[in-house]
Amino acid sequence: MTRSRLVVLISGSGSNLQAIIDACQNNEVNGEICAVISNKADAYGLVRAQNAGIETAILSHKDYPSREDYDIELAALIDSFNPDLVVLAGFMRILTPRLVQKFKGKMLNIHPSLLPKYQGLNTHQRAIDAKDDVHGVSVHFVTEELDGGPVVLQAKVPILADDTADTLAKRIHEQEHVIYPLVVKWFSEHRLTMEADYAVFDNQPLPAQGAAYPE
Ligand SMILES: Nc1nc2c(c(=O)[nH]1)N[C@@H](CN(C=O)c1ccc(C(=O)N[C@@H](CCC(=O)O)C(=O)O)cc1)CN2
Ligand SMILES: NCC(=O)N[C@@H]1O[C@H](COP(=O)([O-])[O-])[C@@H](O)[C@H]1O
């Protein structure tokens, strides 16, 4: 089966990018990352991509007068790699409806909350401040509504009494690196559609290789 062409967008450390790089390199995912695009020149994820021999591009939003102008350029850059899937992995820019519509159904994002709770930023601290006992992470399709697209897979993580945003984020990151490659794998095997509702994993043991995806 032809490998899915992936373009990954980042703004920072790129640990989710690294998880997907590793999953592609060990053939857990039938995909190849054609390019990594960052809006930040100092994103460590660019180093991760270069170390893996993956083409990188920097497109700074600060170089454009408006969000629309930036997204026109970003859409053209993404398109130039002819992706089957666009993966937002810590990409910290809100995308305009025009760009979202161009890639709708083949653009995923990972968000550090159990959507629809805590859309937006600073989710870990907000969950702690609300005295929630459970938090988590969601992989969802990207739509015009910020963090409002159909959720594909979530992982739940308990909030411990002595948790800080940093200690909670560390445990959430661990689950991110499990579920994001899994969802990318399902997409590369043509098993996902925006129209379906998928299950939520309560961090149960993940399906055996090749098992059916959520009922
Ligand atoms: N149209 C959409 N765009 C984006 C989505 C989406 O679902 N629909 N997901 C986000 C990812 N994201 C949370 O998961 C997110 C990223 C960035 C922001 C934000 O407020 N960005 C600010 C700048 C913040 C900064 O530079 O640190 C901004 O764009 O002005 C909120 C949520 C990606 N885009
Ligand atoms: N709103 C988007 C958002 O906050 N995404 C979050 O950014 C981090 C990126 O880490 P990484 O650069 O190490 O993959 C991840 O925790 C991801 O959930």
pLDDT tens figures, 13-50: 999 999 999 999 999 999 999 999 999 999 999 999 99
pLDDT at 202: 53
Distance between Cα 100 and ligand 1 center (Å)? 12
* Per-residue confidence band for 191, with pLDDT thresholds at 50, 70 and 90: confident
Residues annotated as binding site?
A: 14-16, 67, 92-95, 109
pLDDT at 3: 93
Per-residue pLDDT at 198: 63
Q: DSSP state, 138?
A: E
Percent of the chain with pLDDT over 90: 86
Taking residues 57-67, what's their average pLDDT? 98
The distance from CA 147 to its chain's CA centroid, rounded to whole angstroms, is 11
> 4-213 has which fold?
Rossmann fold (3.40.50)
85: CB partners within 8 A, 6+ apart = 4, 5, 6, 7, 31, 106, 107, 108, 184, 187, 188
Q: Does ligand 1 have an atom closer than 6 angstroms to the CB of 88?
A: yes
- For the question of an ipTM over 0.95, the answer is yes
Q: If you average pLDDT over residues 123-132, what whole number do you get? A: 98
Task: Please give the residue that has the higher pLDDT: either 77 or 210.
Answer: 77
pLDDT band at 1 (very low <50, low <70, confident <90, very high): confident
pLDDT at 201 over 90: no
Tens of pLDDT, residues 97-122: 999 999 999 999 999 999 999 999 99
What pLDDT score does 203 carry?
A: 52
Q: What is the DSSP string of 104-119?
A: TTSEEEEESSSTTTT-
Q: What is the pLDDT of residue 195?
A: 75
Higher pLDDT, 42 or 197: 42
Ligand that comes closest to the CA of residue 115: 1
**What is the crossing angle of helices 15-25 and 165-188, to 10°?**
40
pLDDT band at residue 215 using 50, 70 and 90 as cut-offs? very low
This model's pTM is above 0.90: yes
Compute, in angstroms, the gap from residue 208 CA to the centroid of ligand 1. 33
Q: Is 111 a catalytic residue?
A: yes
Cα-to-centroid distance, 119 and ligand 1 (Å): 9
199 pLDDT tier (thresholds 50, 70, 90): low
Q: What's the confidence (pLDDT) of residue 74? A: 98
Q: Where are the domains of the chain?
A: 4-213
pLDDT averaged over every residue in the chain: 92
Distance CA 49, CA 26 (A): 16
- pLDDT for residue 174 is more than 60: yes
Measured from the CB, is residue 144 less than 6 Å from ligand 1? yes
